[in-house]
Structure 1
Amino acid sequence: MRVTEKGQVTIPKNVRDRLNIGPGSEVDFVMSDEGVMLVKTGAGRDEFESFEEWAKSVEGKLDTGGMTTDEYMEWLRGPRDDLDRR
């Protein structure tokens, strides 16, 4: 995402839909050493005090279908042309 001169970014539609964010919704940013997480504030929002707390809540929930990490990353990103595959 690109930040405008006014410091604004557009929240992608799939994120807005998933968090049920619409005009008038309020959001906040939870910061940690690892990055920033956008959260919807107000009624019905999951309460996470930190990025680490959120990360722990989703730990182990990704099903890679038995693929290794390397196999999953290649499936996700496509093959790497810059690696020597002997």
Structure 2
Amino acid sequence: MRLNSKGQVTIPAQPRAEHDLRTGDDIEVIEVDNPLRIARTKGAPARGQRLVRRLRGTADSRDIEGMSTDEIMDLLRG
């Protein structure tokens, strides 16, 4: 891996899959006996929780009454 000019690294696909890391997950870099380690942030909301929080309050029954499922999905996706 290579550190870019913004201080970012790309975690390879295999370790991301093995540790179920997804886009938007909160992680932290910690020092343990000198080496740096990447760890999921404890207490961070899960992907589903973030999604529900983002969608909550985007529409109510008056907004979607009479709409098809596809129309509702388009509304939610913004």
With normalisation by structure 2, the TM-score equals 0.48
Name the one with the larger helix percent: 2
Is the radius of gyration larger for structure 1 or structure 2? 2
With normalisation by structure 1, the TM-score equals 0.44
